[in-house]
Structure 1
């Protein structure tokens, strides 16, 4: 499936993948402006079930990987840099694992290589936060607007499915040879621990801990996130 995609700028293709419940346009806005002004073609797709990308949401990440490949082929992009956060970070990592020859560099934030000990508790808390969200008229109106024909409530609920998170794949990184950067916010200790685990699993994975930020580090500290990512990309491009 070809994903609805927003593209700005010209130059090195850089794919930025939003978090769950958002869209290509509602996230990575600061990064899109920054990189599109610095010789990057910034590509922000709506993952399936989000925004204007309508599609089945079962076998979610397998479908996302194929969608991303279909979209890049449609855009005639043979290789790209790819970065994602949360659900988008999982999609970015799995795409790089399946199509390593198409990825010049990989960056992800807010994902886990192994199931945390308190995963059940975290899932319950997330489900409770969704219920609060569903009762927030202003938020519901906004999400109805950005997701159009998609059933975003069903999508969010699916994220709490028992087998939704592909730990067997997100933790299988020992063979990754693509230049990789894991960026996390210091306020999320569980994610800082996850970043250290990624480094232990594959010493070629670079990690960066951004102060004064949590799960959505690219939103909470956009300048620090952007400059960290740019430094990483410059090192790759200059090789």
Structure 2
């Protein structure tokens, strides 16, 4: 599905079904440097279980035009604009990593527009190492290597994907390699600069599920639990052995954690 948001053409996957703005809407928000493809199984499941789905490529990512948005708050504003452009009155937001911060910020500042959130691989703060930022700024492939090595849990390197035929680490690398120069650095900088996650969490009044990886080296579980504690009534799911890329490493477990808890 193609939309024009803020003057730029945007692509959003709809889970294999025609988009219907009258159905409960779920918007899936990808992480730094990635695109809609990470949500393939999730978007399809929700689209075939009574929801409408938008899994957009953020501006400058994947098949979407325009320049990357440089702040988490700006991405949150854009997400609400995407929803409105699609003709929906409200949405449930599911995000991974950077996308989870975007969902959190949007839910805090647009309470009338957001009906629930699913936050995957998220924390009370998401600082990015100086080495990773420097490599991303230089468009050095070492940045992609670092994201892969630090992002995937130990067992992901051994195989055993829950999605048959999926080569987890190398699949992630191929997506990042196709990201335009400067986009990964812009995204990582936005995460690094976002300092108000706990303030946003205190404003959340809708159902919230946080799904955290026990072995997450990029956003440690301790930080995720701190964020969960700041959201009144939140539900916390810990996936043993999973790393930061748990949406790819453990798709069946993540979908199970989300499926029954995204409100209609």
TM bucket normalised to smaller: 0.7 to 0.9
8 Å Cα contact 1:113-1:167 kept in structure 2: no
Q: Does 1:200 align with 2:209?
A: no
Aligned pairs for 1:1-239 within 5 A: 2=5, 3-8=10-15, 9=17, 11-24=23-36, 26-57=37-68, 59-114=70-125, 119=127, 122-125=129-132, 127-128=134-135, 131-132=140-141, 142-143=174-175, 152-161=180-189, 165-172=192-199, 173-188=201-216, 190-233=219-262, 236-237=263-264
Residues 48 and 64 of structure 1 are in contact (CA less than 8 Å); yes or no, is this contact kept in structure 2?
Answer: no
Task: Assess, with a 3 A threshold, how the Cα gap between structure 1 residues 4 and 175 changes in structure 2: closer, same or farther.
Answer: same
* Counterpart-to-counterpart distance in 1, 2:100 and 2:123: 10
- Report the CA distance shift for 1:144/1:20 in structure 2 as closer, same or farther (over 3 A): closer
SS in 1 for 2:123: coil
Query: Does the C-alpha gap of structure 1 residues 12 and 135 become closer, same or farther in structure 2, counting only changes over 3 Å?
Result: closer
Deviations 1:11-47 (A, max 9, x none): 42111111111111x1111112222221121210111
How far apart are the structure 1 equivalents of 2:123 and 2:143? 27
C-alpha distance in 1, partners of 2:58/2:239? Answer: 26
Q: How many Å separate the matches in 2 of 1:110 and 1:88?
A: 9
Q: Please identify, of 174-183 and 189-198, the stretch whose mean Cα deviation from structure 2 is larger.
A: 189-198
Pairwise CA distance, 1:61 = 2.3
**Structure-2 separation of matches of 1:200 and 1:145:** 36
8 Å Cα contact 1:93-1:170 kept in structure 2: yes
Q: Extract unaligned runs of 5+ from structure 1.
A: none
1:127, distance to aligned residue in structure 2 (A): 4.6
Provide Cα deviations, 1:128-171, integer angstroms capped at 9, x if missing partner: 586235799x99x9559955xxxx2211123454x753443212
Unaligned runs of 5+ residues in structure 2 are 146-169
The answer to whether the 8 Å contact 1:107/1:182 transfers is: yes
TM (normalized to structure 2)? Answer: 0.73
Once residues 86 and 56 of structure 2 are traced to their aligned partners in structure 1, the CA distance between those partners, rounded to angstroms, is 12
Superposed CA RMSD in Å reads: 3.0
Question: How far does the alpha carbon of each residue in 1:110-136 deviate from its partner, in whole angstroms, 9 at most, with x for none?
Answer: 222136xxx46x342465586235799
Q: Which moved more, 1:197-206 or 1:39-48?
A: 197-206
Q: 1:30 to 1:133 in 2, by over 3 A?
A: farther
